[in-house]
């Protein structure tokens, strides 16, 4: 296990380095500069700005400076918000995105699994159709439309909840619903189909024949196996939701880190592009690693430590 973990860590580091290098190459090869605003300007001002941010240096030097800043975990100042360092931006935005993301995941997983189980148990019954109807709606309604709709009905028309911003628990309800619906639908469908598959397996029949209580069959024997595909998608889902979502955070004016992924590229804010890319990649890689570990716990047939070759 230790050897496996170390090996995985090394691979993770190499993957990160490749991502960093690719990002850098892509970044400098797209046209434009961080100082192209619609405002007037002149050559002297532009030259001063480039010098200030080391953008007048050769690419190799810039690359080395980046690597150095990454190695020291100091991403430097943002260009579009010069008073803030990239560390400040991420340090402030990530906890908020994370908080929203965790609640979203919990809601999505619990409601998704329950919907899935209900649908599987009442296969082709009315409950199945209702549950799958909800799931299809959840997958097909884009979250930004759902968000606007929720605001219009629950906040503007019925005045039950605040429209937007981030000032307390009640501000979290609408964005969580908007964000959780999509993943909930995916999880519900996955759970339903694997559950259906599992319920026809011999060992379930065996358990029934043995006279085990129905809920023990479902939760102990069936669900545990039915959850494997859900765990598989959890890695990407977690990394995606926990690091913030651009659209939902924008609509609800949530000060998370979702916007930096998109805006840093629009602004050619190089330090922020690097910072967010590295942060997200590292997060995703770690999530995928954790998912592999969880596989082993859920299914004893998968033995992670034997993967590194016998």
Partner 1 sequence: MKKWILLLLAVVLALGLGACATSTDSGEGDNPKQTEDGKKDKKEGDKDDKGEKVLRLNNGTEPKSLDPSIGFDSVSWTPLNNLMEGLTRLDENSQPQAATAEKWDISEDGKTYTFYIREDAKWSNGDPVVAEDFVYAWKYMLDPDTASPAAFLAYFIEGAEEYNSGDGSVDDVKVSAKDEKTLEVVLTAPTGFFLDLLTNPAFFPINHKVAEDNPKWHAEADTFVSNGPFAFESWKHEEEMVFVKNEHYWDKDVVKLDKVHWAMVNDENTPYQMFVSGELDVTGIPAELSDELIDGDNVYIGDQGGLEFYRFNITKEPFQNKKIRQAFSYAVNRDEIAEFVVKNGVKPAYGFVSPGFIGPDGKDFREGNGDLVTFDPDKAKELLEEGMKEEGYDKLPEITLSYNTSDTNKAVAETVQNMLSEHLDVEVKLENQEWNVFSEAQMNLELQFSRSSFINDYSDPVNFLESFVTDSYMNRTGFSSKEYDELIKKGKTEVDEEKRWEYLQEAERMLADEMIAMPIRYYNIVALEADGVTGLLRHPVGYLDLKYADKN
* Minimum CB distance to partner 1, residue 236 (Å): 22
Nearer to partner 1, 175 or 235 (CB): 175
* Minimum CB distance to partner 1, residue 68 (Å): 21
State how far Cα 212 lies from the chain centre.
39
Nearer to partner 1, 58 or 168 (CB): 168
Nearer to partner 1, 180 or 239 (CB): 180
Nearer to partner 1, 95 or 308 (CB): 95
* Minimum CB distance to partner 1, residue 238 (Å): 16
* Minimum CB distance to partner 1, residue 113 (Å): 9
Residue with the two structure tokens 């906040």: 155
25, with CB counted inside 10 A (0-12, 13-18, 19+), is exposed
Nearer to partner 1, 103 or 198 (CB): 103
Residue of 78, 99, 103 lying closest to 89 (CA atoms): 78
Which alpha helices (DSSP H) does 143-251 contain, by range? 143-150, 173-199, 202-210, 214-216, 223-226, 228-242, 246-251
* Minimum CB distance to partner 1, residue 167 (Å): 6
Integer CA distances (angstroms), 164 to 184, 247, 252, in order: 23, 13, 5
């Amino acid at each position: 296990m230790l050897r496996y973990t170390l090996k995985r860590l090394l691979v993770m580091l190499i993957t990160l380095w490749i991502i960093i290098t690719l990002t850098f190459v892509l970044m400098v090869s797209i046209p434009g500069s961080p100082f192209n605003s619609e405002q007037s300007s002149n050559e002297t001002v532009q030259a001063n700005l480039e010098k200030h941010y080391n953008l007048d240096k050769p690419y190799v030097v810039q690359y080395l400076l980046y690597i150095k800043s990454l190695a020291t975990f100091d991403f430097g100042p943002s260009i579009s918000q010069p008073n803030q360092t990239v560390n400040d931006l991420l340090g402030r935005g990530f906890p908020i995105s994370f908080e929203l993301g965790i609640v979203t995941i919990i809601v999505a997983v619990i409601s998704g699994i329950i919907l899935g189980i209900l649908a599987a148990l009442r296969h082709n019954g009315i409950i199945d159709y209702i549950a799958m109807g909800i799931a299809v709606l959840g997958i097909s309604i884009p979250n930004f439309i759902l968000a606007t709709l929720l605001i219009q009905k629950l906040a503007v028309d019925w005045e039950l909840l605040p429209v937007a911003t981030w000032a307390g628990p009640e501000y979290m309800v609408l964005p969580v619903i908007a964000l959780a619906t999509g993943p909930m639908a995916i999880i519900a469908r996955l759970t339903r189909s694997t559950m259906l598959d599992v319920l026809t397996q011999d060992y379930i029949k065996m358990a029934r024949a043995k006279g085990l209580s129905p809920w023990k069959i479902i939760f102990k024997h069936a669900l545990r196996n039915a959850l494997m595909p859900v765990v598989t998608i959890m890695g990407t889902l977690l990394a995606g939701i926990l690091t913030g979502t651009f659209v939902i955070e924008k609509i609800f004016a949530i000060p998370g880190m979702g916007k930096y992924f998109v805006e840093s590229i629009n602004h050619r804010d190089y330090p922020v592009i690097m910072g967010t890319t590295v942060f997200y990649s590292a997060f995703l890689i770690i999530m995928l690693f954790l998912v592999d570990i969880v596989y082993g716990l859920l299914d004893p047939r998968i033995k992670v430590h034997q993967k590194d070759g016998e």
